[in-house]
């Protein structure tokens, strides 16, 4: 485990206007059965009291920071991993949840000598709604166990979706942060996948076939273009992945992947719209979160929790 001056794990939470959920997120980290960690919280200049809520929670392992201006997702996520002291790192968005034995089970994989050469440990996840109600108990696109990078990328391309999981699903060695370029929002929808692929250039993926965390679908306004944006941006990721010959992606993989991506985008759009519609009715037609105008008419990426917007269009 970690030394007296260095925790074994760093959990870092980049947050922006997560007042409704941040207490649950922080408390889920504090409740871990594995206790040798530090918890870093980076508030991206929230305007809804998120910072004050986080500051009200007392635990010696918590360190809270506040940006003097809003950095957006790319800036705040990279800041969140810039000063980690743990041997391993987990980034948790400000509305997601860790189940109590998440860190314990993921650290155990890295500590097993048989898993030397693993650079990323992920788990399955549960999908929950704003109230914490389970919508999907276990999401898994890949079986548990160890996978080589080329196999991961090729399967992801063929399936047309993120098979590794959102940031909350992963744990990775801190030493690799200096060897990669960090989070990039050049293609906002795949900011987490791009980061995972960078990590997997340095080792294999190990998937724990158990849901160890929860990814929250927040009740935000949904755009009619969400499916189109998801499809276009994931296709861009697929083509970039295929351009790297080491991934072994074939033309057939891309062909199948584009079909599956279209299906995934369509079903996601339909599901999210139904969910948003149902939620809106429950609160008398008024959504609790609104996206402000960033001005100048530019397509600027905004950050709300883990959700990305181009102007008022949510990318999910």
| Distance in angstroms (rounded) separating the CA atoms of residues 80 and 83 | 7
Whether 302 has a pLDDT exceeding 70, the answer reads no
3-state helix, strand, coil in the chain (%, to 5): 40, 25, 35
The single residue listed with the structure tokens 């649950």 is 24
Residue 279: per-residue pLDDT: 57
Q: Which residues of 218-244 are buried (b: 16+ CB within 10 A; e: fewer)?
A: bbbebbeebbebbbebbbebbeebbee
**CA distances in angstroms from 285 to 221, 273, 282, listed in the order given:** 11, 14, 7
Instruction: Yes or no: say if 300 and 234 are a contact pair by the CB < 8 Å rule.
Output: no
| pLDDT confidence tier of residue 281, bands split at 50, 70 and 90 | low
Q: What is the pLDDT of residue 176?
A: 98
Q: Looking at residue 139, what is its pLDDT?
A: 83
Does the structure show a pLDDT above 80 at 140?
A: no
pLDDT in the model for residue 226 = 43
Whether 215 contacts 132, CB under 8 Å? no
pLDDT in the model for residue 276: 55
Whole-number pLDDT of residue 2: 66
Residue 52 tokens read as 């004050």
Q: Quick one: pLDDT at residue 223?
A: 38
Terminal alpha carbon distance of the chain: 37
* pLDDT for the residue numbered 220: 44
pTM of the shown model = 0.84
pLDDT at 268 over 80: no
Torsion region of 261: left, alpha or beta (phi above 0 gives left; psi -120 to 50 gives alpha): alpha
* Rounded (10°) CA dihedral 134, 185, 86, 51: -70
Let me know: does 13 contact 50? Beta carbons within 8 Å. no
pLDDT of residue 188: 85
pLDDT band, residue 3 (cuts 50/70/90)? low
Q: What is the mean predicted confidence (pLDDT) over 124-129?
A: 92
- Tell me if 295 sits within 8 A of 229, measured CB to CB: no
- d(CA 110, CA 204) in angstroms, rounded, equals 11
Tens of pLDDT along 57-114?
Answer: 999 999 999 999 999 999 999 999 999 999 999 999 999 999 999 999 999 999 999 9
Query: Over the stretch 145-197, which tens digit does the pLDDT of each residue have?
Result: 999 999 999 999 999 999 999 999 999 999 999 999 999 988 888 899 999 99
Report residue 89 as tokens: 């790192």
Helix, strand, or coil (residue 218): coil
* Mean pLDDT value across residues 264-272: 74
Chain centroid, CA 26 distance in Å: 16
Going along the chain from its start, the domains and CATH numbers come out as 9-216 (3.90.550.10), 226-315 (no CATH)
| pLDDT, mean over the chain | 85
> How high is the pLDDT of residue 12?
98
């Amino acid at each position: 485990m970690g030394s007296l001056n260095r925790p074994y794990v760093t959990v870092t939470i980049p947050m922006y206007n997560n007042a409704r959920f941040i207490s649950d997120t922080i408390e889920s980290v504090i409740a871990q059965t594995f206790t040798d960690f530090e918890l870093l919280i980076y508030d991206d200049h929230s305007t809804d009291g998120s910072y004050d809520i986080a500051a009200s929670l007392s635990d010696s392992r918590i360190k809270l920071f506040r940006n003097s201006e809003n950095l957006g997702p790319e800036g705040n996520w990279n800041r969140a991993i810039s000063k980690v002291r743990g041997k391993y790192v987990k980034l948790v968005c400000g509305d997601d949840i860790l189940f109590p034995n998440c860190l314990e089970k993921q650290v155990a994989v890295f500590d097993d000598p048989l898993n030397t050469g693993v650079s990323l440990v992920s788990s399955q996840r549960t999908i929950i709604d704003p109230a914490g109600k389970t919508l999907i108990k276990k999401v898994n696109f890949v079986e548990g166990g160890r996978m080589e990078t080329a196999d991961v990328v090729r399967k992801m391309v063929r399936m047309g979706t993120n098979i590794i999981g959102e940031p909350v699903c992963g744990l990775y060695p801190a030493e690799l942060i200096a060897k990669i370029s960090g989070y990039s929002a050049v293609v906002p929808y795949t900011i987490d996948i791009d980061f995972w692929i960078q990590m997997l250039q340095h080792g294999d993926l190990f998937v724990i076939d158990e849901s160890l965390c929860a990814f929250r679908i927040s009740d935000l306004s949904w755009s009619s273009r969400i499916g189109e944006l998801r499809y276009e941006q994931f296709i861009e990721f697929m083509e970039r992945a295929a351009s790297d010959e080491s991934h072994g992606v074939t033309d057939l993989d891309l062909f199948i992947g584009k079909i599956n991506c279209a299906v995934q985008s369509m079903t996601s759009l339909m599901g999210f719209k139904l969910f948003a519609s149902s939620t809106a009715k429950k609160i008398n037609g008024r959504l609790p979160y609104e996206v402000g105008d960033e001005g100048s008419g530019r397509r600027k990426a905004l950050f709300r929790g883990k959700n990305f917007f181009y102007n008022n269009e949510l990318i999910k």
